[in-house]
Amino acid sequence: MGQHSMLQLWREVNMPAHSRTTHRLRCHSRARGAAPRLRHVFLRAEKGGAEVATAPGPHVPASRRQLLQGAAVLTGGLAAAVTGTAPAAAADLPAAAAGTPAPSPVPTACPPVASGSGTRAWRALRDPTLNRGLATPASARHLYGLDGLLPSAVTAPEQEVARAEAAVARAAGCPLMQYSLLMGLREADPGTFFALVQRDVERYLPLIYTPTVGDACLAWGSLLPRPTGLSISLEQAGRAGELVANWAEGQPQAKIAVITDGERILGLGDLGAHGMGIPTGKAAVYGAAGVDPSWVVPVALDVGCDTAAVVNDPLYVGLRRPRERGEAYYALVDEVVGALRARYGPGLLVHWEDVGFSHAFPLLERLGAAGVPSFNDDIQATAAVTVAALLGAERLPGVPPLEQQRFLFFGAGQANLGVASLLVAELVARGLGRREAEGRVWLVDRRGLVTDDRPDLSGGKARFAQPRPRGLAATASAPAAGPKGARPSGSEVAPGLVEVVGAVRPTALIGAATVGGAFSPEVLQTLTKVQPSASSRPLVFALSNPTSAAECTFEQARRWTSGRAVFASGTQFPSLQDGGRTLTPAQANNCFVFPGIGAGCVASGAGAVSEGMLLAAARAVAALASSEDLAAECVLPRVGRLGECRERVAAEVTRAALAEGAAAGVAARGNWGGRSWAAA
């Protein structure tokens, strides 16, 4: 960028909002013939009988916004660049490190369409950047030929948000219907959608993501409308560049790609192409947290499905073939990631979602070896939010310091292995030796307690293998999960788990095995009995999603431990009344973490997501739990503070990346192109 262009950007960043609007209009009028696809004008609104140029929201055209954000970093504030207002500070870092500005509730950028052109008018009618419903000003309706295609009333954008709120409320009692309404709104009017969700995150987050998104994925074949994402199948191998280019027609810029292969959708198993609800849902959560929605592209890789009931459903939308697990799988991943980076730049962050265990860790290693920044939400974000909950629990009376505790993980899949690994890093940071810290962690997998006399352990499990406790037979501990395609009920696993709890004597029981009801009355009563003192409070974390897969409820945990349990869960449970107090369970939801990790990686240019960055995220979230939260037994902040969490986490992740030297410029990472990764 030349000195003159940079100076122009600097002036635009620092001029008053009303001057900036006039400046953009002037610049637009000069460039009208130069780049038709990048031309933008600000809508005009009626005021006092005369049309005046206004900027009702902080939206800036995507191409211009990226330059403005970069200039804002140099001149002291990202939010100021987009909104014309002072940014909210996050810790003591520049506002740019806290992530992106909140998406505009009323985006107004739009390319000019000749008035009177019927074809163009109908295109404008279906373009959410042009058609704002009744909030479309009269001048814009005339400009784009929308007169007569919309009702004549012109309302304020806030009225459209109220209209959407009423529509969702009318479907109360049917979360899936509410999900469909909200996703339809997101497709038709994203500005109103994000304004509505951000108005009441606690109300709408469970509808746009867990637990409702699980039901949406199960019903994906008959769901209308379905959220839009980039879908690439094995049959389209060799055409990834073409398909990414097709998508980029509607999303020309992106910084984060949320990718799933549909194999491990929440606690529901392999749903194949019906797993698209996960990346589209995560993209919506990014926006709800204040990350610019144009930054995030949702991607589903259709590589087959091994669930017969899904594949044989006549309404299934994916390939009807067994799941590919060999070289063709990795070849498609290579091609898709290469195409995304070729289109959006080598700094694109890959956010993996609900990938099966056999591919989850190899994919992280594969991308890391190639210098591709990536993280797995189910491993690393789950780890960060769970450690945050442990740190928050530590602040309650009766809970020993973490370095004095013993942790039993029910389930030894990618989620609990990630939590255990990050927990060890926290304990080491507190002065424990690594082997001593690992000795505080016990795992239960589908074959029982993970002990050092078992020859069948993978490297991740072997790290935490402990000597078998005296008196605990090799056959005494029940499986944490049933055979493939089946999950045992809590009553089937409870007897063995009771014996394991009695032998290990943990102070914390953490479940992520998707075995609904596994924390039975006998398990939790035994957990209470083995605490080091009568005043010690056991930690009970039932992290599995959706609600049907949760190991226990908040009410059960309280009742079966005589009110002593400190509880957190992956799904949200209702509050309880206890002696005049309202107790609110903590929801260990990854949404507290992944938007900030994504924004922090983008802000810092980090080439990898390190343990230090994840610990920084965990500590940032834990610190946001207020005294009021803790008084209500809630060891994490409320979901309603999602935007604040994103800012704080992004700032701390950026700080950690810079301190570790993990941040690397895009140029230093080079252009990956079609390079082959090492075998997983």
Active-site choice (282, 286, 329, 344)? 282
Same domain as 321, residue 214: yes
**pLDDT tens by residue, 391-428:** 999 999 999 999 999 999 999 999 999 999 999 999 99
**Digit-coded pLDDT (tens) for 552-583:** 999 999 999 999 999 999 988 999 999 889 99
Q: Annotation-wise, does 313 bind a ligand?
A: no
Single pTM value for the model: 0.80
Q: Which of 101, 134, 152 is the last residue of a domain?
A: 101
Domain assignment of residue 419, yes or no: yes
Same domain as 198, residue 80: no
Residue 646, annotated ligand binder? Answer: no
Is the Cβ–Cβ distance between 603 and 407 less than 8 Å?
no
633 is in an annotated binding site: no
pLDDT in tens, 147-176: 999 999 999 999 999 999 999 999 999 999
Question: In degrees, to the nearest 5, what angle opens at C-alpha 579 toward C-alphas 573 and 585?
Answer: 20
Identify whether residues 214 and 333 lie together within a single domain: yes
Q: Rounded to 10 degrees, what is the CA torsion of 163, 166, 171, 175?
A: 90
Q: Is residue 158 part of a domain?
A: no
Tell whether 223 and 288 lie within a shared domain.
Answer: yes
| Residue 545 marked ligand-binding | yes
Which residues have CB under 8 Å from 290's CB, separation 6+? 99, 100, 101, 102, 103, 198, 595, 642, 643, 646, 647
What is the DSSP code string of 151-187?
Answer: -S----HHHHHHHHHHHHHHTTT-HHHHHHHHHHHHH
Handedness of CA 281, 57, 64, 29 (dihedral sign): positive
Q: For residue 410, what are the β-bridge partners? A: 444, 511
Q: What is the pLDDT of residue 59?
A: 42
Domain count of the chain? Answer: 3
Tokens of 514: 């998707």
Residue 168 lies in a domain: yes
Q: Which of 179, 204, 209, 344 is catalytic?
A: 209
Identity of the amino acid at 344: Y
Residue 128 burial (CB count, 10 A): 18
Residue 370 domain flag: no
Instruction: Examine residue 122 and state whether it is found in any structural domain, yes or no.
Output: no
pLDDT of 202: 94
Q: Determine which of 109-123, 230-244, 261-275, 438-452 has the lowest per-residue pLDDT on average.
A: 109-123
Give dist(CA 144, CA 112) in Å, integer.
Answer: 7
Residue with tokens 């960043």: 13
What local confidence, expressed as pLDDT, does residue 570 receive?
A: 93
Asked if residue 421 and residue 343 are part of one domain, the reply reads no
User: What 3-state class would DSSP assign to 127?
Assistant: coil
Mean pLDDT of the region 504-526: 96
- What pLDDT score does 579 carry? 87
Amino acid at 325: R
**Residue 547, pLDDT score:** 87
**Least reliable range by pLDDT among 39-53, 508-522, 599-613:** 39-53
Answer yes or no: are the C-beta atoms of 407 and 440 closer than 8 Å. Answer: yes
Its sign, for the CA torsion 590, 210, 98, 378, is: positive
47-56, 363-372, 380-389, 646-655, range with the lowest pLDDT = 47-56
Task: Write the CATH number for 407.
Answer: 3.40.50.720
Window from 6-15, 153-162, 585-594 with minimum mean pLDDT:
6-15
542 and 408 assigned to the same domain = yes
Give the containing element (helix H, strand E) for 351. strand 349-353
- Pair (174, 86) in one structural domain: no
DSSP-derived letter for residue 396 is: S
Distance CA 620, CA 623 (A): 5
Q: Tell me the mean pLDDT in the region 222-251.
A: 96
Give the range of the structural domain holding residue 22, as residue numbers without chain letter: 1-39+60-101
Per-residue tokens: 625: 């739990």
Domain membership of residue 149 (yes or no) is no
CB 587 within 8 A of CB 359: no
Specify whether 302 is located in the same domain as 451. Answer: no
Q: Are 191 and 156 in contact (CB under 8 A)?
A: no
The helix (H) or strand (E) run that includes residue 52 is strand 50-53
Binding site annotation covers 321? no
Confidence at residue 470, expressed as pLDDT on a 0 to 100 scale: 87
For residue 261, name the pLDDT band (cuts at 50, 70, 90). very high
Same domain, 466 and 581: yes
209 carries an active-site annotation? yes
CA nearest neighbour of 656 among 97, 258, 255: 97
Q: Is residue 548 part of a domain?
A: yes
- The pLDDT score that the predictor gives to residue 502 is 96
Is residue 431 located within the same domain as residue 342? no
Confidence band for 458, pLDDT divided at 50, 70 and 90: confident
Give a yes or no: residue 247 inside a domain: yes
Whether the pLDDT of residue 27 is over 50: the answer is no
Residues 511 and 567 in one domain: yes
pLDDT reported for residue 471: 80
Question: CB count, 10 Å around CB of 404?
Answer: 10
- Mean predicted lDDT score pLDDT of the chain: 82
Domain final position from 296, 320, 355: 355
Predicted pLDDT of residue 112? 53
Residue 282 bears catalytic tag: yes
More confident of the two residues 316 and 19 = 316
Same domain, 404 and 351: no
**CATH code assigned at 303:** 3.40.50.10380
Question: Which tokens sit at 476?
Answer: 């005494």
> Model confidence over 188-231: pLDDT tens digits?
999 999 999 999 999 999 999 988 999 999 999 999 989 999 99
